[in-house]
């Protein structure tokens, strides 16, 4: 008879986000996960099936969290441009860390060779663009943002700025330089 699970799977997934974010998929071994998560190897495989499955669960969790934070940060009253700047900086980790974006890192590491990672990344990028598009449209309606560009095109440009800045952050570019890049992206 199997012993009952003595840990919260959601807490483990949340903690796994940090491990994979720091180390990447390939460099994270099942033993690293067992050691850092504080669960047994049997529990790892019985609950999460494989390192890869836990990785995809962690990516989905991370993506959902980030997009919820982005949507919340861009909703509500008040000036939009400062919130866009802050949202972009948060997405890229400017001044917080040099880890970049977990999803962008995963795509860079495994590319299109991993269909599950590609699907998660595509969903994240589509949702990010939709959140930006909606915010830009509200900014245009309020007159804060010029209506000279289509909201969808501007949203794509902001998404590209967020992804590019995340890569630059991971490469060690200074927070001051990253903020200048993001300021220019929002101003354009």
pTM for this entry: 0.89
Compute the mean pLDDT over every residue in the chain, rounded to the nearest whole number: 91
C-alpha torsion 75→76→79→85, nearest 10:
-30
The structural domain count of the chain equals: 1
Check: CB of residue 23 under 8 Å from CB of residue 32: yes
Q: b/e map of 100-130 (b: 16 or more CB within 10 Å)?
A: bbbbbbbbeebeeebeebeebbebbbebbbe
Does residue 2 register a pLDDT over 80?
A: no
**For the segment 150-163, what is each residue's pLDDT rounded down to a tens digit?**
999 999 999 999 99
In this prediction, residue 1 has a pLDDT band, given cuts at 50, 70 and 90, of: very low
- The answer to the question of residue 112 being in a domain is yes
For residues 5-11, give the mean pLDDT. 82
For residues 23-46, give the mean pLDDT. 92
- The answer to the question of residue 4 being in a domain is no
Check: CB of residue 169 under 8 Å from CB of residue 88: no
For 52, the 3-state DSSP assignment is: helix
List the domain range (segments joined by +) for residue 101. Answer: 9-187
**Residue 18 has what pLDDT?**
95
Cα gap 5→7, rounded to integer Å: 6
- The answer to the question of residue 3 being in a domain is no
**For the segment 72-122, what is each residue's pLDDT rounded down to a tens digit?**
999 977 899 999 999 999 888 887 777 889 999 999 999 889 999 999 999
For residues 123-145, give the mean pLDDT. 95
Q: The CATH number of the domain where 106 resides is what?
A: 1.10.357.10
**Residue 5 has what pLDDT?**
56
- The answer to the question of residue 2 being in a domain is no
Q: Taking phi first (over 0 means left), then psi (-120 to 50 degrees means alpha), and beta for anything else, what does residue 149 get?
A: beta
- The answer to the question of residue 165 being in a domain is yes
For residues 33-41, give the mean pLDDT. 92
């Amino acid at each position: 008879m199997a012993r009952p699970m003595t840990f919260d799977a959601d807490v483990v997934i949340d903690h796994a986000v940090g491990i994979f974010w720091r180390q990447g998929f390939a460099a994270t071994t099942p033993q690293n996960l067992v050691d850092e998560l504080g669960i047994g190897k049997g529990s790892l495989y019985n609950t999460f099936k494989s390192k890869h499955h836990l990785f995809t669960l962690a990516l989905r969790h991370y993506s959902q969290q980030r997009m919820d934070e982005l949507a919340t940060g861009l909703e509500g009253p008040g000036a939009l441009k400062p919130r866009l700047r802050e949202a972009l900086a948060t997405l890229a980790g400017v001044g917080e860390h040099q880890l970049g974006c977990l999803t962008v890192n995963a795509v860079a590491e495994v590319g299109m060779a991993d269909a599950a990672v590609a699907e998660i990344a595509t969903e994240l990028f589509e949702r990010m663009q939709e959140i930006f598009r909606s915010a830009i449209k509200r900014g245009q309606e309020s007159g804060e943002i010029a209506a000279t560009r289509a909201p969808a095109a501007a949203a794509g440009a902001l998404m590209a700025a967020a992804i590019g800045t995340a890569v630059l952050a991971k490469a060690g570019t200074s927070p001051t330089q990253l903020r200048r890049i993001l300021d220019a992206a929002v101003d354009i």
